[in-house]
Amino acid sequence: MNQTAIEKHSIKPAKESLADYGSIDQDKGCHPTRVVKKNISEKLESTEYEQEVKALRWALNRLASWDLPGKAHVENYFRHMHRRNFRPKTYFSNLTAIQVFLAVVKDSGKTRLEEITKNDLEAFIEHEQDRGLMLSTVRTRLHCANAFLGYLIEGGIVSADVLARRIRLKKPETLPRAMDPDDVKQLFFVIEHPRDRAMITLLLRTGMRIGELLGTKMHDLHLKDRRIDIYEGEKNRIGRVVYLSDDAKVALKAWLKMREFDQEFLFYARGRKNMSYSTAHLIFERYLTKAGLTHKGYSLHALRHTFASELLNAGMRIECLQPLMGHTSLDVTRRYARLTDKTREEEYFKAMTIIERGEIDGHYRLDHQVQAFLEEKERFTEYR
C-alpha cells in the first residue's frame, strides 16, 4: 500500500522580497517584516490544512474498497482524526494497522465490532509477530489499534475490558549508536561537494533529524544569529531552535555561495525543489564506502547520536541537551548519559586497578538485606 505524495506549497522566493521590505509600509501602518512573517504563517497553516484534507480523502478512498466489519466506524474515526489535526502521514500507519486488525477479527468469525474482545487484540499481535515484522513496527501498529479501540470504547461500541490492562511489548533498551571520533574524521576527509559537507556537518553539529533538515527552508535559517528554527519537530510536533557551530557555519557559507538563489529549501537535489530521504541516504552511503566505513553499520541518525554524546562528554548538562535534541522526556536523553558517563568509566578503571594489584583485603560476604531486597524485586517482576 503506497501513501499518496502530498505537495508542499511554495513560499515567495527571497530574491523577490528582500529589496521591497526595507522600510515601513505607510499605507498599512505596520512594519513590513511582521507582515511577511504573518503571511508566511498564514500560508503554512493553509497548506497544512490542505495536506490533511488530501490525506483524509486518500484514507476514505482506500476504505471504500474494504470488505471488513465496522467500516462505517472506521470512517468516523478518520474524520475524528482529521478534527484533531493529525499529521497526514499518520493516516497511512493507522489505516494499515486497523485494516490488519479488522481482518484478524473477521477471520475469527466475527462480523460486528461489538463482539471484539481482548483475545482479538492478542491474536492481532501474534499475527504481526509471525509475519517477522520488527518489534518497533509491531509496537506502532499496536498503538494504532489501541487508539482506535479507545475511540470505540468512548462511543460505547466496544467493552472497556478490552483495554482494561494494556498489552505492552517491552522494547530492549539499547544504547544509541554514535560514531567513533576517528571515523568522523575519516568520513569528512572524503567529502568533496560543498552541499554534502554542509548537510552532514549540520546533522553532526545541530542534532537535527534528517527529516527536519531536509524540510528546512531558507526563511528558517538565521546565519547572522547562528541558528535554525525548527517550527515543528519531526516526531513530536514540538518546535525548537538549534545552533550553528563555527565549522557548521563555514560549511554552510560555502554551500550558500553556490546554491541556486531562488530555491525554497536549504538543500535540494537536481531537478527537484527539495531532497528526498532516499537521496540523502545514498549520498551518506557513498561517502561511507569511500571512507571504508560501510562495515561499521553507521546511519544518518548516528550523526544525531554522535552530537548528543560529544556534548555530554564536553560537560554539557543533560537538562540543556534535552531541548536541543527535541526530547519531551528527560529519560530519553538519559540514554546518552549511559553511553558517555566519564565518571563511571573512571571509577571502574580505578577500582579494577586495585583488584588487579591484589590489594583487596577480607573475604567476600553477602549482605542479607540486599539479598532480601533482590528476591522481593524478582517476585514483583514475575507477578507483572
C-alpha distance from residue 96 to each of 4, 157, 241, 273 (Å): 14, 21, 34, 30
Residue carrying the nine cell digits 546518552: 336
Please count the other Cβ atoms lying within 10 Å of the Cβ belonging to residue 216: 22
Active-site pick, 83, 89, 112, 235: 235
Per-run averaged pLDDT (10 residues), the chain, 384 residues: 36 33 34 40 60 89 92 94 87 93 94 94 94 90 95 95 88 80 96 96 96 94 95 77 95 95 92 90 96 94 93 88 89 79 77 80 58 66 52
Q: Which of 9, 301, 334, 377 is catalytic?
A: 301
Burial of 299 (0-12, 13-18, 19+ CB in 10 A): middle
Contact 209, 234 (CB under 8 A): yes
The one catalytic residue in 141, 240, 305, 327 is: 327
Q: Is 327 marked active-site? A: yes
The confidence score (pLDDT) of residue 160 equals: 94
DSSP-assigned letters across all residues of 151-195: HHHHTTSS-GGGGSS----PPP-PPP-PPPHHHHHHHHHT---HH
Catalytic residue at 209? yes
Q: List every span in the chain annotated with CATH 1.10.443.10.
A: 181-343
At residue 321, what is the residue type? Answer: L
pLDDT at 36: 37
Q: Name the active-site residue from 141, 209, 217, 305.
A: 209
Q: Is 295 a catalytic residue?
A: no
Are residues 155 and 114 in contact, defined by beta-carbon separation less than 8 angstroms? no
> Among residues 141, 205, 240, 304, which one is catalytic?
304
Task: Classify burial at 221, counting beta carbons within 10 Å of its beta carbon; exposed 0-12, middle 13-18, buried 19 or more.
Answer: middle
The Cα–Cα gap between 246 and 251 comes to: 9
Query: What pLDDT score was predicted for residue 331?
Result: 83
Domain 181-343: CATH class, spelled out = mainly alpha
The pLDDT value recorded for residue 28 is: 36
45's grid cell: 497553516
Is 296 exposed, middle or buried (CB count within 10 Å of its CB: 0-12, 13-18, 19+)?
middle
State yes or no: is 249 an active-site residue.
no
All three cell numbers of 314, joined, read 564536553
Strands (DSSP E) contained in the chain are 221-222, 227-230, 240-243
Q: Which residues contact 367 (CB under 8 A, 6 or more apart)?
A: none
Place of cell 557559507: 253
Give the largest Cα separation in the chain, rounded. 89
**Catalytic site residue 296?**
no
Degrees, nearest 5: CA angle 180-186-188: 105
Q: Give the phi and the psi of residue 263 in degrees, each rounded to 5.
A: -75, 135
Q: What is the pLDDT of residue 252?
A: 97
pTM over 0.95: no
